[in-house]
Amino acid sequence: SRFIVFDRAGQIVSMAQKEHRQIYPQPGWVEHDPIEILHNVNEVTGAALAKAGLNAGDLAAIGITNQRETTVLWDKATGKPVHNALVWMDTRTDALVSSFAKFGGKDRFRAQTGLPLTTYFSGLKLRWLLDQLPEARTRAENGDLLFGTMDSWLIWHLTGGTRGGRHITDVTNASRTQLMNLATCQWDEDILEAFAIPKACLPQIVPSSQIYGEVTTVPLRGTPIAGILGDQQAALVGQTCFVPGEAKNTYGTGSFLLMNTGRKIVPSQAGLLTTVAYQFGDESPCYALEGSIAITGALVQWLRDNLNLIEKSADIEPLAASVEDNGGVYIAPAFSGLYAPYWKDDARGVIVGLTRYANRAHIARAALESAAFQVRDVVEAMQTDSGIELKALRVDGGMVCNNLLMQFQSDMLAAPVVRPRITETT
């Protein structure tokens, strides 16, 4: 969780952040504790304000951006989650995906939602919770359980929680549930019926920018909430990609390349996603093509936490730079399957090319290069779908401070990679 205070010129005044636990109950399953995230948000908010000597009255408004598909189901009466959040990269819905794909294939709902059937999106994660938790379906049908992505969870609590908190989500997050119709920007009744999702538990879909209400809790009491965007759409807006054809790539846990397609919904023929880019106020929504890559920065975390190859993430660059090349080592980090443009849920990670010559530095370099190779695949798919040759790639996210990776990415694309002054545009 991260809280950043910006001035009117867009410069950072203060920032605080805190990692939360990654919970792995079994292979392929990834969970977060929603209560821990809520506490962390309040903690980093207070820390950032204190660091700059500010209080809630000094803020014009706040906006919320979040990992999009991560799914929370909570009790309306108590405000407590009934299960840990199912994270976007969690693959436990693979059997549901296969079941629905038997009739109409993986593109069965693509025309309405812009998305293929895969474990990635929220709708089937919610279906899994409703199926697996005792009495969850009945309680959801009665409106006693509420569903949301992390934006909905936070806003409901910040605006009053059990005392009238607003149950909302914006169009960009809703478009990642596979339950929203792209053309109408409303919940699709036919898909709700197919997935057996009760509408009573769903949040109201709202634009990405308007005044939704005021925070009722410290340390932000009285501050208006004026914006909601899924993290990758937030980066598109932060990189000012407002003209059709403009694109950005974010290097985070995964990597996400989005290209603005304007008011036009562009169906993908090359394995990409069609999604909502943003909707400002009462204006018509703008759309985007997206190439989603599950694992890039998470591979560095895996080398750090699971293999103890490095002590901290920043150590990856000097280690990788200590050798001239990857020594013939290549990594396909399909920890959660392969996302765009392949969409293979059953793929799993491999390290190939190992010889006695290879050492930890070659593995580190291969890890960085794997990010660039995956991004190149998505760029090529994006150019096929859009018919637009990418003149330059705007980049952001935690990995863009890695000069070795950025240069290798530029080499792979044969195009400039443009890094902004403020890299955390999500």
Report yes or no: 258 and 203 within 8 Å, Cβ to Cβ: no
pLDDT of residue 156: 98
Give the domain ranges of the chain. 2-232, 240-425
Report yes or no: 62 and 215 within 8 Å, Cβ to Cβ: yes
Residue type, 288: A
Question: From CA 216, how far away is CA 79, in angstroms rounded?
Answer: 15
| 424 has pLDDT over 90 | no
DSSP per position, 394-410: EEESGGGG-HHHHHHHH
| 426 has pLDDT over 80 | no
Question: From CA 268, how far away is CA 276, in angstroms rounded?
Answer: 14
Extract the tokens encoding 73. 């189901």
pLDDT of residue 415: 93
Going by C-alpha positions, the residue among 362, 314, 426, 399 that lies closest to residue 417 is 399
**pLDDT tens readout for residues 71-105:** 999 999 999 999 999 999 999 999 999 999 999 99
Question: From CA 47, how far away is CA 373, in angstroms rounded?
Answer: 38
**What DSSP element (H or E) covers 258?**
strand 255-262
Mean pLDDT taken over the chain: 96
State mean pLDDT over 9-13. Answer: 92
- Report the relative pairing of strands 2-6 and 12-17 from DSSP bridges: antiparallel
Question: From CA 289, how far away is CA 299, in angstroms rounded?
Answer: 25
* 149 φ/ψ sector (left φ>0, alpha ψ -120 to 50, else beta): beta
pLDDT of residue 390: 84
Per-residue pLDDT band at 257 (split at 50, 70, 90): very high
| 423 has pLDDT over 80 | no
Extract the tokens encoding 28. 């392929």
pLDDT of residue 131: 98
Extract the tokens encoding 285. 């929504």
* Orientation angle between helical segments 122-132 and 94-101, nearest 10 degrees: 110
**pLDDT tens readout for residues 343-380:** 998 999 999 999 999 999 999 999 999 999 999 999 99
* Orientation angle between helical segments 360-386 and 403-413, nearest 10 degrees: 40
Report yes or no: 415 and 3 within 8 Å, Cβ to Cβ: no
pLDDT of residue 389: 86
**pLDDT tens readout for residues 198-244:** 999 999 999 999 999 999 999 999 999 999 999 999 999 999 999 99
Question: From CA 222, how far away is CA 326, in angstroms rounded?
Answer: 54
Domain 2-232 and domain 240-425 have a common topology: yes
pLDDT of residue 181: 98
Going by C-alpha positions, the residue among 131, 118, 129 that lies closest to residue 88 is 118
Protein fold of 2-232:
Nucleotidyltransferase; domain 5 (3.30.420)
Question: From CA 219, how far away is CA 52, in angstroms rounded?
Answer: 14
pTM: 0.93
pLDDT of residue 55: 96
**pLDDT tens readout for residues 19-45:** 999 999 999 999 999 999 999 999 999
- Report the relative pairing of strands 247-251 and 393-396 from DSSP bridges: parallel
- Give the alpha-carbon dihedral of 49, 55, 58, 61, to 10 degrees: 70
Dump strand ranges (E) for 138-208: 145-149, 168-170, 180-181, 186-187, 204-206
**pLDDT tens readout for residues 266-320:** 999 999 999 999 999 999 999 999 999 999 999 999 999 999 999 999 999 999 9
pLDDT of residue 180: 98
- What size, in residues, is the chain? 426
Per-residue pLDDT band at 119 (split at 50, 70, 90): very high
Percent of the chain with pLDDT over 90: 95
The CA–CA distances, whole Å, from 152 to 42, 48, 355 equal: 16, 23, 49
State mean pLDDT over 415-425. Answer: 85
Question: From CA 405, how far away is CA 56, in angstroms rounded?
Answer: 39
Protein fold of 240-425:
Nucleotidyltransferase; domain 5 (3.30.420)
